[in-house]
């Protein structure tokens, strides 16, 4: 998406509609291309974690971004600093699709999507209220930044079966952990190129590789090739930090006709 096509005026961001919150979920927030809310399972587990989803109901023809939006998109962001007894909120992402809007290629979703969120209590077994500042981009021929605060009291209806079912289904739909027969092997590259060899079940034409630019990395669209019967993805490194990080790694997702897996690869 061209950055010039993103509407930056807050008046165009969308207007909240006073729809009542249902169970352990927030009210819907309406924008031009769809609506968004937070839903939780209500109850924290023994480790003080609450599962939830950022529920994005896109209108037909609209799209939103994966964790890496390309060079001009808006990734979903969630800030819980205004919350009560919430120490952390970690977003997870279903397998994306590759999109080409004529201006660039990027990864995201062209259908309603629920992004799983794991909320961690600061003090387990104590009441909590989620006040989450949400920022994401949704796009048709233009991209509109959606920005709002969504509030949830997870204890308001902790046994709501509909909410629990939505949360469970969203976590179940996440890519599985990568394994030896469905995953990637990093090959020698250079300062400007990430090269991986992919192993997967199913049709090679349906396979795709997505790597998230994090920690000041930026990647281009992977190029496909075959070597000794193996599918190779060569990814241009468009930008990188001045010093290669030594902790953590980069999130990736590998998709095929048989499903999707995800993992973390070393910083190139």
Q: What is the pLDDT of residues 34-58, one digit of tens each?
A: 999 999 998 899 899 999 999 999 9
Mean pLDDT, to the nearest integer, of 101-130? Answer: 91
What's the whole-model pTM score?
A: 0.88
**Per-residue pLDDT at 23:** 56
Which residues, 6 or more positions from 193, have their beta carbon under 8 angstroms from its beta carbon?
Answer: 234, 235, 236, 237, 268
Q: Where does residue 228 rank: exposed (0-12), middle (13-18), buried (19+ CB within 10 A)?
A: exposed
Residue 169, C-beta contacts closer than 8 angstroms, at least 6 positions apart: 114
Copy the structure tokens of residue 5: 């096509």
pLDDT of residue 14: 41
Q: What percent of the chain has pLDDT over 70?
A: 91
pLDDT at 251 over 50: yes
Best CA proximity match to 30, nearest among 9, 50, 48, 15: 15
Q: How much of the chain, in percent, has pLDDT values that exceed 90? A: 74
CA distance 268 to 265: 8
What pLDDT is stored for residue 10 in this prediction? 38
């Amino acid at each position: 998406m061209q950055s010039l096509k993103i509407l930056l005026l807050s008046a165009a961001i969308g207007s909240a509609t006073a729809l009542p919150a249902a169970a352990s979920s927030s009210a819907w927030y309406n924008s031009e291309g769809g609506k968004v809310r937070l839903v939780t399972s209500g109850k924290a587990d023994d480790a003080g974690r609450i599962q939830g989803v950022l529920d994005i109901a896109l209108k037909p023809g609209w799209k939103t971004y994966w964790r890496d939006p390309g060079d001009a998109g808006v990734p979903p962001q969630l800030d819980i600093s205004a919350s009560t007894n919430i120490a952390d909120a970690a977003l997870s992402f279903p397998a994306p699709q590759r999109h080409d809007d004529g201006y660039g290629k990027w990864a995201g979703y062209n259908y309603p999507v629920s992004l799983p969120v794991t909320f961690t209590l600061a003090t387990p077994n104590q009441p909590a209220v989620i006040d989450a500042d949400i920022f994401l981009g949704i796009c048709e021929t233009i991209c509109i930044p959606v920005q709002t605060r969504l509030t949830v009291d997870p204890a308001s209806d902790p046994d709501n079966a509909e909410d629990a079912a939505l949360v469970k289904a969203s976590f179940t739909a996440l890519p599985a952990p990568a394994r030896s027969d469905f995953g990637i092997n990093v090959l020698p590259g250079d300062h400007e190129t990430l090269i991986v060899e992919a192993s997967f079940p199913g049709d090679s034409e349906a396979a795709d590789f997505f790597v998230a630019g994090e920690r000041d990395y930026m990647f281009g669209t992977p190029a496909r090739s075959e070597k000794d019967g193996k599918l190779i993805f060569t990814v241009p490194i468009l930008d990188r930090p001045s010093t290669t990080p030594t902790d953590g790694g980069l999130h990736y997702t590998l998709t095929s006709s048989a499903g999707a897996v995800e993992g973390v690869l070393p910083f190139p």
